[in-house]
Amino acid sequence: MSVSCSNCVPDSFLLCGEDSSGVLSGESPECSSDLDSSPPSEEVSIAGFIEDERHFVPGFEYLNRFQSRSLDASAREESVAWILKVQAYYAFQPLTVYLSVNYMDRFLNSRPLPGAKASCTIKLCQTNGWPLQLLSVACLSLAAKMEEPLVPSLLDLQVEGAKYLFEPITIRRMELLVLGVLDWRLRSVTPFSFLDFFACKLDSTGTLTGFLISRATQIILSNIQEASFLAYWPSCIAAAAILHAANEIPNWSLVRPEDAESWCEGLIKEKIIGCYQLMQELVIDNNRRKPPKVLPQLRVTSRPLIRSSVSSFSESSSSPSSSLSYKRRKLNNCLWVDDDKGNSQ
């Protein structure tokens, strides 16, 4: 049975209203400018980060609350110190630490801790310290899920001096609360977004780029507990850290902070200078506080003594009088509701 083509639609009707002569003739049409355009340059990407970073930092009023002591800076320092200990314990990436602290600061900037009144300080709002620790655990868990290939269980994450042991269901509820407050915006712009670019600006040959990035990362993490850095945005912190690392290299000409303004559009000279000077002060202060290194004496023991020490340790650790058993209190299924509805149960 043959099909009549009298009602068939011409091929030209199936094409768009644009010039179709090249398609019908078999010739390849010219590529459009959109398809032919190259990907955005690194300068454009960095400028985009600088434009967007304001959306991933707490407002300046958050720092003012620490300065006026309506928020307790020492409580924040303790939480960040615990996050750094867990990072060292599990060898987490530096970005995981920074994101954890970033989530915690953005949360505290937006609302009080669970079960606390808005007029309370961080320390006064704690019930023996557990609300802020719960927030720290939840923020670290979220950051680890974002960046780490292997994430410990919620119970195993609570190590390195954690005073309270939270049930996984309690931590998950806190995670949901954090996600809601942050509007699920976890892919933050951090100083690590800028380090590679800024390091290449100082060392175009790439000879010392690795050192600059590594040392700047150490400087950023060593100062992350200090609330004063909340006055500076990630791009500024990254520029100041790279400058500080560069000026530690022997035989390098001194790099002035005001020169960093030319690295990329959006950098502010006054902010970079202020952040750089703050880093210098803290690094000098930290070096003064460091105790002198003392090499431990080596003790040689025989194998039977090692085995006996291990067995005695296992006996002491299984003993009900173990110090860990009473130092860590367990909070089961801690619940809370919004501040307008009441306090935590």
* Residue 300 domain flag: no
Residues 129 and 87 in one domain: yes
CA distances from 245 to 56, 84, 248, 289 (A): 25, 21, 5, 20
Residue 63 has a pLDDT of 84
Residues 63 and 156 in one domain: yes
Residues 168 and 211 in one domain: no
56 Cβ neighbours under 8 A, 6+ residues apart:
102, 106, 185, 188, 189, 190, 234
329 Cβ neighbours under 8 A, 6+ residues apart:
163, 164, 165
What pTM did the predictor assign? 0.69
What tokens were used for 56?
Answer: 């991933």
271 Cβ neighbours under 8 A, 6+ residues apart:
232, 233, 236
In SS3 terms, 109-177 reads as HHCCCCCCCCCCCHHHHCCCCHHHHHHHHHHHHHHHHHHCCCCCCCCCCCCCCCCEEECHHHHHHHHHH
What Rg do the C-alpha atoms of the chain give, in angstroms? Answer: 28
What is the enclosing helix (H) or strand (E) of 329? strand 329-331
Residues 101 and 219 in one domain: no
Domain extent for 254: 189-288
Residues 71 and 164 in one domain: yes
Tens-of-pLDDT digits for all 345 residues of the chain?
444 444 444 444 434 444 444 444 444 444 333 434 444 566 677 777 887 877 888 877 888 888 888 788 888 999 999 999 999 999 999 999 999 999 999 999 888 877 655 445 554 444 347 889 999 999 999 999 999 999 999 999 998 877 888 999 999 999 999 999 999 999 889 999 999 999 998 888 888 899 999 999 999 999 999 888 988 999 999 999 999 999 888 877 677 887 887 888 778 888 989 999 999 888 766 666 655 444 344 343 334 433 333 334 344 433 444 444 434 444 444 444 344 444 444
Q: Which of 136, 162, 187 is the last residue of a domain?
A: 187
What CATH number is attached to the domain comprising 162? 1.10.472.10
Residue 80 has a pLDDT of 94
CA pair distance 172, 154, nearest whole angstrom? 9
Q: Which of 240, 260, 288 is the last residue of a domain?
A: 288
* Residue 73 domain flag: yes
Q: Which amino acid is at 306?
A: I
Residues 163 and 214 in one domain: no
Residue 84 has a pLDDT of 95
Termini Cα distance of the chain: 80
Residues 115 and 199 in one domain: no
